[in-house]
Amino acid sequence: MSEHPDSALVRRGYDAFNKGDMATLRTLLTADCIHHIPGSSRLSGHYKGQDNILEMYGERMELAGGSLRVELHGAYPDGRGHVMAVHKYYAERGDRGIEMPGGLWFTIVGGKITDIDECVQDIDETDAFWGPAG
Protein backbone atom coordinates (compact mmCIF):
# COMPACT_ATOMS: atom_id res chain seq x y z
CA MET A 1 0.00 0.00 0.00
CA SER A 2 1.43 3.38 -0.96
CA GLU A 3 1.50 6.35 1.39
CA HIS A 4 -1.04 9.12 0.85
CA PRO A 5 0.66 12.25 -0.60
CA ASP A 6 -0.48 14.41 2.35
CA SER A 7 1.05 11.95 4.83
CA ALA A 8 4.26 11.86 2.77
CA LEU A 9 4.40 15.69 2.88
CA VAL A 10 4.06 15.68 6.68
CA ARG A 11 6.71 12.95 6.99
CA ARG A 12 9.11 15.07 4.90
CA GLY A 13 8.43 17.95 7.27
CA TYR A 14 9.27 15.90 10.34
CA ASP A 15 12.47 14.64 8.70
CA ALA A 16 13.52 18.17 7.75
CA PHE A 17 12.71 19.49 11.25
CA ASN A 18 14.84 16.82 12.93
CA LYS A 19 17.74 17.64 10.58
CA GLY A 20 17.36 21.39 11.17
CA ASP A 21 16.74 21.76 7.42
CA MET A 22 14.84 25.04 7.38
CA ALA A 23 15.21 25.41 3.59
CA THR A 24 13.21 22.24 3.01
CA LEU A 25 10.66 23.19 5.66
CA ARG A 26 10.14 26.53 3.90
CA THR A 27 9.23 24.70 0.66
CA LEU A 28 6.53 22.69 2.47
CA LEU A 29 4.72 25.72 3.96
CA THR A 30 2.55 28.29 2.22
CA ALA A 31 3.82 31.87 2.56
CA ASP A 32 0.94 32.66 4.97
CA CYS A 33 0.94 29.38 6.91
CA ILE A 34 0.02 29.65 10.61
CA HIS A 35 1.41 27.46 13.43
CA HIS A 36 -0.65 27.53 16.66
CA ILE A 37 1.06 26.55 19.94
CA PRO A 38 -1.08 26.05 23.08
CA GLY A 39 -0.33 27.19 26.59
CA SER A 40 1.32 30.26 28.09
CA SER A 41 5.04 29.58 27.63
CA ARG A 42 7.50 31.82 25.82
CA LEU A 43 6.76 29.79 22.66
CA SER A 44 2.94 29.75 22.93
CA GLY A 45 0.93 31.72 20.42
CA HIS A 46 0.13 32.00 16.74
CA TYR A 47 3.00 32.27 14.27
CA LYS A 48 1.92 33.53 10.85
CA GLY A 49 4.13 33.24 7.79
CA GLN A 50 7.12 31.11 6.88
CA ASP A 51 9.67 33.49 8.42
CA ASN A 52 7.93 33.66 11.81
CA ILE A 53 7.37 29.91 11.94
CA LEU A 54 10.96 29.07 11.02
CA GLU A 55 12.27 31.64 13.49
CA MET A 56 10.19 29.98 16.24
CA TYR A 57 11.57 26.55 15.25
CA GLY A 58 15.06 27.98 15.53
CA GLU A 59 14.25 29.42 18.96
CA ARG A 60 12.98 26.01 20.09
CA MET A 61 16.19 24.37 18.94
CA GLU A 62 18.28 27.06 20.61
CA LEU A 63 16.39 26.84 23.93
CA ALA A 64 16.95 23.07 23.90
CA GLY A 65 20.64 23.49 23.13
CA GLY A 66 20.26 21.38 20.00
CA SER A 67 18.83 18.42 21.94
CA LEU A 68 15.30 18.65 20.56
CA ARG A 69 14.17 15.67 18.51
CA VAL A 70 10.75 14.44 17.49
CA GLU A 71 9.85 10.80 16.78
CA LEU A 72 6.93 10.55 14.38
CA HIS A 73 4.70 7.59 15.27
CA GLY A 74 2.12 8.06 12.54
CA ALA A 75 0.67 10.47 9.98
CA TYR A 76 -3.00 9.86 9.29
CA PRO A 77 -4.76 11.63 6.39
CA ASP A 78 -8.49 12.20 6.14
CA GLY A 79 -8.41 12.50 2.35
CA ARG A 80 -9.86 16.03 2.57
CA GLY A 81 -6.68 18.02 3.14
CA HIS A 82 -5.91 17.20 6.78
CA VAL A 83 -3.30 15.01 8.43
CA MET A 84 -3.18 14.11 12.10
CA ALA A 85 0.42 13.40 13.09
CA VAL A 86 1.20 11.66 16.37
CA HIS A 87 4.67 11.92 17.86
CA LYS A 88 6.81 12.03 20.97
CA TYR A 89 9.34 14.79 21.48
CA TYR A 90 12.44 14.87 23.62
CA ALA A 91 14.49 17.86 24.74
CA GLU A 92 16.82 19.06 27.47
CA ARG A 93 17.06 22.57 28.82
CA GLY A 94 19.57 23.31 31.53
CA ASP A 95 19.15 20.65 34.21
CA ARG A 96 15.65 19.73 33.04
CA GLY A 97 14.46 17.25 30.44
CA ILE A 98 11.13 16.54 28.81
CA GLU A 99 9.66 13.53 27.03
CA MET A 100 6.14 14.29 25.86
CA PRO A 101 3.60 12.64 23.56
CA GLY A 102 1.71 15.02 21.34
CA GLY A 103 0.54 15.69 17.87
CA LEU A 104 0.09 18.16 15.09
CA TRP A 105 -3.07 18.68 13.02
CA PHE A 106 -2.09 19.84 9.54
CA THR A 107 -4.25 21.51 6.92
CA ILE A 108 -2.89 21.03 3.39
CA VAL A 109 -3.98 22.89 0.26
CA GLY A 110 -2.37 22.44 -3.14
CA GLY A 111 0.36 20.21 -1.77
CA LYS A 112 1.53 22.73 0.86
CA ILE A 113 0.86 23.11 4.58
CA THR A 114 -1.41 26.08 5.35
CA ASP A 115 -2.10 25.55 9.06
CA ILE A 116 -0.57 23.60 11.95
CA ASP A 117 -2.36 23.11 15.27
CA GLU A 118 -0.12 21.70 17.99
CA CYS A 119 -1.37 19.53 20.86
CA VAL A 120 0.59 18.21 23.85
CA GLN A 121 -0.22 15.70 26.57
CA ASP A 122 0.43 18.11 29.45
CA ILE A 123 0.25 21.84 28.72
CA ASP A 124 1.40 22.84 32.23
CA GLU A 125 4.52 20.65 32.01
CA THR A 126 5.27 21.97 28.54
CA ASP A 127 4.86 25.57 29.72
CA ALA A 128 7.20 24.93 32.67
CA PHE A 129 9.82 23.36 30.40
CA TRP A 130 9.93 26.15 27.80
CA GLY A 131 9.63 28.91 30.40
CA PRO A 132 7.27 31.84 30.92
CA ALA A 133 6.28 34.27 28.22
CA GLY A 134 8.59 37.25 27.96
The predicted model scores a pTM of 0.95
What 3 state SS string does the chain have? CCCCHHHHHHHHHHHHHHHCCHHHHHHHEEEEEEEEECCCECCCEEEECHHHHHHHHHHHHHHCCCCCEEEEEEEEECCCCEEEEEEEEEEEECCEEEEEEEEEEEEEECCEEEEEEEEECCHHHHHHHHCECC
pLDDT in tens, 41-90: 999 999 999 999 999 999 999 999 999 999 999 999 999 999 999 999 99
Domains within the chain, CATH numbers bracketed: 5-130 (3.10.450.50)
